[in-house]
Structure 1
Amino acid sequence: MSPFDQLEPTALFKALESAKPTDALPELSALLDAVRFNADGLIPAIAQQHDTGEVLMMAWMNREALEETLRTQQVCYFSRSRQKLWRKGETSGQQQKLKSAALDCDGDTLLVQVEQTGPACHTGRRSCFYVSLSTEPPAITSEPLIDPKTLYGKKSP
Structure 2
Amino acid sequence: MAQRLDHLPPLGLLRVFEAAARCGNFTHAGLELGLSQAAVSQQIRSLERHLDVRLFERKHRRVELTLAGSRLFNAVRVSLEMIAATSRDIRKGQAPSNLRIAADIPFAQHWLMPRLADFSTQHPHINPSVMASDYDADCLRDEVDIAILYGSGD
TM-score by length of 2: 0.25
Greater strand content: 1
TM-score by length of 1: 0.25
